[in-house]
């Protein structure tokens, strides 16, 4: 088949447009991050017309909602097209509608924030009240997720009908799991937003704050694990191919997907462990529910070490750790993902610590938490995404990566890693000393405690600056690979299972049952607190505008 | 045999005073955690009894229907709010709960499950879904406390719990009616 750029671009317009927009979002969001970091480090003051909190809100929305959603949709649609075959017309319509919905939603949201009508942070906690159009924008963003998910489900269903009795290819299995989870997770926030819209229009006078926060975190926490599930789909199915190995266990990978989907949503309570209105018993119960999510993560760690060791030994590694040194550390496609996985050991351990009631008291609402999610999302997830672009973008655009871009990628990886280490670790440290999150630079009247935070905040600003350079580099790399790299064929890097692998049990395919089990577990987690929060609610809160 | 030990350990764990106290202190835990777990412990222990008393089960539960009826009687008895109240106040009733749910509901159901056909399975699921829906309606909308030992808000919580139980049963029923579930339980495939 003739390889022409036009043909490639035409066939892969959908994921390429998603990636293009995702990295535009990263560029804008990253620039805002730089402003934030420099302000928080006390380097300069932001003007009142575009203050720290506005920047913070936009930075959060553009990076952890816009960038991740667009990237995920682009990657997964590329993956299902590769594994399940050409997308049907219905699926294409759904995917483009999803993108349109996302753009409408994003425009509304960003417009309202820039207009100073929605400086409510990305968590938009009531009783802070944004313009109703901000919330309506969020409805479109959620609609985008549902439409994209529906497209994937239809693709999987059509494939299963064509291939009766066959297992859904592993990448498509991950895609089904990811969209099932994100749809379950978005139900709570949808209800919340539908309560906030009439309140913002003034049709209802008050809002149940605790109920809103609880519904938000049923989504907020799940979203984090959706990114994580996207990242581990790369680790399980793509990383082995990059290092010349095979998938360790297809069954284990599918079991991990199923467990994450059914166990995840009730984990949201550990974000509210300091909130009032929950009895201690409930908080302790939810520690169990949150920690249950660590179980599939530990299974993933086991599988990853197994893949790395087997492949390392195949490559000639000897001795206890010899297999580690022979891995392709000089290959940017491996290095990025490896750093992402290593960072997850730190991030995961921090997450488990934060889930515990007493430890959470120490770090709650401090910069520690910000450091934690910059390690988990900013390194584990984002570095995995970066690791994909070096071969996925050229695969889609009909080009090949040049040695120059490879070297630049290695430099970008180093910049990002050092920047994030400086920023996230100083955030962790200064958080332990009590520096609050979501707070513009202040010395609290030159109090001795706040002045003691200064060196750490300087590190934070330095790390943020390095990260901004990292953003510039990765955006340049992506656009170069999309539009300017030499023409050529770059293969899709999905792995196969070992030749002697155990057959995968058929029960893993029973998605109908997993959905029912997920509903049962979500109801176990939420019925008791939600009824309590509704029935025993204090008078609702009128709107507050803190900006 | 392994299953029997799992069931027995679960049964003994649920019988520990602090566990009993914790699970009975919240109505939803009492009705939707302790009772189903006692029932599950019976399900796990069932194969041991089925093997040990094969003749007894063959004689009295040959078709599987008597076991299903006994299971339904026990389940319906424990749906009665007064029964739950009494289990908190009268030790004999509490003991009866710990005997009846595992051994008169869990064990007979497991023995019957392999003997009844698809149609009976579906009818049983439908009966349970209807029963739980009625309980959901009763507990959510009744305006006075049905259980003296718990608050009205606890009662509503249990009602919503029943609503979700019922929803899950209905969804599972639909799943079994419209998909061939046996395809998922064949031997493994590549």
Q: What is the pLDDT of residues A101-144, one digit of tens each?
A: 999 999 999 999 999 999 998 889 999 999 999 999 999 999 99
**pLDDT at residue B186, rounded to an integer:** 63
Nearest CB to B175 within list A505, A513, A530: A513
The pLDDT of residue A291 is above 50: yes
Beta bridge partners of A544: A128
Confidence of residue A1 (pLDDT cuts 50, 70, 90): very low
Percent of chain A with pLDDT over 90: 73
**pLDDT at residue B187, rounded to an integer:** 56
The pLDDT of residue A433 is above 90: yes
- pLDDT (tens digit per residue) in A23-35: 999 999 999 999 9
Q: Which residues of B touch A528 (CB under 8 A)?
A: 26, 28, 157
Q: How far is CA A89 from the centre of its chain?
A: 29
Contact predicate A94/A151, CB 8 Å: yes
The pLDDT of residue A2 is above 60: no
Cβ neighbourhood burial of A79 (10 Å; 0-12, 13-18, 19+)? buried
- pLDDT (tens digit per residue) in B137-188: 999 999 888 888 999 999 999 999 999 999 999 999 999 999 888 888 765 4
Tell me which residue of A30, A17, A88, A86 sits closest to A58, measured CA to CA: A30
Average pLDDT over residues A6-13: 75
The SS3 call for residue A102 is helix
Per the document, the length of chain B is 190
Q: How far apart are CA A212 and CA A199, in angstroms?
A: 12
Q: Is A520 on the interface with B (CB under 8 A)?
A: yes
The pLDDT of residue A504 is above 50: yes
Q: Count of CB contacts below 8 A, A vs B?
A: 71
Which residue in B has a C-alpha nearest to residue A514's C-alpha?
B172
Contact: A506, B186; criterion CB under 8 Å? yes
Average pLDDT over residues B60-83: 92
Instruction: For residue A326, say if its preceding peptide bond is cis, omega within 30 degrees of 0.
Output: no
Contact predicate A80/A175, CB 8 Å: yes
Contact: B157, A507; criterion CB under 8 Å? no
The pLDDT of residue A88 is above 80: yes
The pLDDT of residue B86 is above 80: yes
Helices in A364-402 by DSSP H: which ranges?
367-375, 382-397
Q: Is A535 on the interface with B (CB under 8 A)?
A: yes
Q: Which residues of A touch B139 (CB under 8 A)?
A: none
Q: How far apart are CA A477 and CA A416, in angstroms?
A: 14
| Phi, then psi, of A546 in degrees rounded to 5 | -95, 5
The pLDDT of residue A284 is above 80: no
Euclidean distance between the first and the last CA atom of chain A, given in angstroms as a whole number: 59
- pLDDT (tens digit per residue) in A391-410: 999 999 999 999 999 999 99
Look up the pTM and report it.
0.93
Instruction: For residue A66, say if its preceding peptide bond is cis, omega within 30 degrees of 0.
Output: no
**pLDDT at residue A47, rounded to an integer:** 87
Tell me which residue of B178, B158, B176 sits closest to B168, measured CA to CA: B176
Contact: B190, A503; criterion CB under 8 Å? yes
CA trace torsion B107, B111, B116, B120 (10° rounding): 10
Cβ neighbourhood burial of B157 (10 Å; 0-12, 13-18, 19+)? buried
Contact: A507, B167; criterion CB under 8 Å? no
Q: Which residues of A touch B185 (CB under 8 A)?
A: 506-507
Among chain B, residues having any CB pair with chain A shorter than 8 Å are 22, 26, 28, 32, 152-153, 156-157, 160-161, 164-165, 167-168, 171-172, 175, 179, 181, 183-190
Tell me which residue of A413, A397, A424 sits closest to A471, measured CA to CA: A413
The SS3 call for residue A543 is coil
Confidence of residue A48 (pLDDT cuts 50, 70, 90): confident
Please state which of the ranges A92-101, A499-508, B78-87 shows the lowest mean pLDDT.
A499-508
Contact: A505, B188; criterion CB under 8 Å? yes
**pLDDT at residue A274, rounded to an integer:** 86
């Amino acid at each position: 088949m003739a390889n022409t750029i036009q043909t490639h671009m035409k066939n892969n317009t959908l994921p390429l447009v998603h990636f293009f927009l995702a990295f535009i979002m990263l560029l804008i969001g990253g620039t805002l991050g730089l402003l934030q970091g420099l302000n928080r480090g006390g380097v300069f003051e932001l003007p009142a017309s575009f203050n720290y909190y506005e920047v913070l809100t936009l930075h959060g929305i553009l990076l952890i909602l816009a960038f991740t959603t667009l990237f995920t949709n682009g990657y997964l649609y590329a993956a299902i097209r590769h594994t399940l075959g050409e997308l049907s017309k219905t699926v294409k319509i759904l995917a483009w509608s999803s993108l349109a919905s996302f753009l409408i939603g994003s425009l509304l949201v960003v417009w309202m924030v820039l207009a100073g009508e929605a400086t409510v942070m990305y968590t938009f906690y009531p009783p802070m009240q944004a313009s109703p159009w901000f919330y309506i924008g969020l409805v479109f963003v959620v609609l985008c997720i549902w439409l994209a998910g529906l497209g994937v489900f239809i693709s999987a269903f059509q494939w299963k009908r064509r291939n009766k009795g066959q297992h859904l290819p592993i990448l498509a299995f991950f895609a089904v799991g990811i969209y099932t989870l994100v749809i379950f997770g978005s139900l709570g926030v949808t209800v919340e937003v539908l309560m906030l819209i009439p309140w913002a229009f003034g049709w209802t006078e008050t809002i149940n704050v605790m109920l809103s926060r609880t519904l938000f975190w049923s989504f907020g926490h799940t979203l984090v694990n959706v990114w994580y599930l996207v990242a581990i789909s790369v680790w399980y199915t793509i990383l082995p191919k990059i290092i010349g190995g095979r998938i360790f266990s297809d069954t284990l990978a599918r079991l991990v997907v199923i467990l994450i989907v059914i166990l995840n949503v009730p984990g949201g309570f550990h974000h509210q462990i300091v909130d009032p209105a929950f009895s201690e018993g409930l908080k302790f119960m939810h520690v169990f529910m949150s920690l249950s999510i660590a179980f599939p993560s530990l299974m993933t760690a086991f599988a990853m070490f197994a893949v790395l060791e087997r492949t390392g030994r195949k490559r000639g590694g000897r001795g206890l750790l010899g297999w580690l040194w022979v891995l392709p550390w000089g290959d940017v496609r491996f290095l990025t993902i490896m750093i992402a996985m290593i960072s997850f050991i730190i991030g995961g351990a921090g997450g488990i610590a934060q889930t515990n009631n007493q430890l959470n008291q120490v770090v709650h609402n401090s910069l520690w938490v910000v450091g934690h999610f910059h390690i988990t999302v900013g390194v584990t997830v984002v570095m995995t995404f970066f690791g994909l672009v070096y071969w996925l973008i050229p695969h889609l655009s009909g080009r090949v990566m040049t040695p120059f871009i490879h070297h630049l990628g290695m430099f970008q990886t180093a910049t990002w890693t050092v920047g994030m280490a400086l920023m996230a670790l100083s955030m962790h440290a200064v958080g332990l000393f009590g520096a609050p999150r979501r707070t513009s630079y202040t010395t609290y009247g030159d109090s001795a405690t706040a002045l003691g935070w200064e060196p750490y905040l300087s590190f934070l600003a330095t790390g943020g600056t390095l990260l901004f350079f990292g953003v510039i580099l990765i955006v340049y790399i992506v656009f170069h690979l999309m539009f300017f790299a030499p023409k050529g064929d770059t293969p899709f890097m999905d792995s196969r299972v070992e030749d002697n692998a155990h057959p995968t049990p058929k029960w893993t395919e029973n998605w109908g049952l997993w959905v029912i089990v997920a509903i049962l577990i979500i109801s176990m987690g939420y019925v008791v607190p939600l009824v309590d929060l509704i029935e025993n609610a204090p008078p609702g809160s009128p709107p507050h505008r803190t900006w | 045999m392994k299953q029997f030990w799992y069931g027995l350990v679960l049964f003994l764990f649920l019988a520990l005073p602090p566990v009993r106290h914790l699970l009975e202190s919240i109505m939803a835990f009492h009705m939707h955690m302790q009772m189903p777990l006692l029932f599950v412990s019976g399900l796990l222990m069932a194969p041991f009894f089925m093997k040990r008393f094969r003749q007894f089960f063959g004689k009295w539960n040959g078709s599987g229907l008597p076991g299903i009826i006994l299971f339904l009687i026990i389940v319906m008895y424990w749906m009665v709010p007064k029964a739950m109240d009494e289990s908190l106040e009268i030790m004999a009733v509490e003991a009866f709960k710990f005997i009846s749910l595992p051994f008169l509901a869990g064990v007979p159901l497991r023995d019957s499950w392999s003997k009844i056909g698809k149609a009976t399975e579906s009818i049983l699921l439908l009966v349970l879904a209807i029963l739980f829906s009625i309980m959901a309606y009763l507990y959510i909308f009744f305006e006075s406390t049905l259980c003296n030992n718990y608050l009205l808000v606890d009662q509503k919580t249990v009602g919503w719990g029943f609503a979700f139980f019922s929803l899950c049963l209905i969804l599972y029923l639909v799943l079994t009616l419209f998909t061939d579930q046996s395809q998922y339980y064949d031997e493994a495939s590549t």
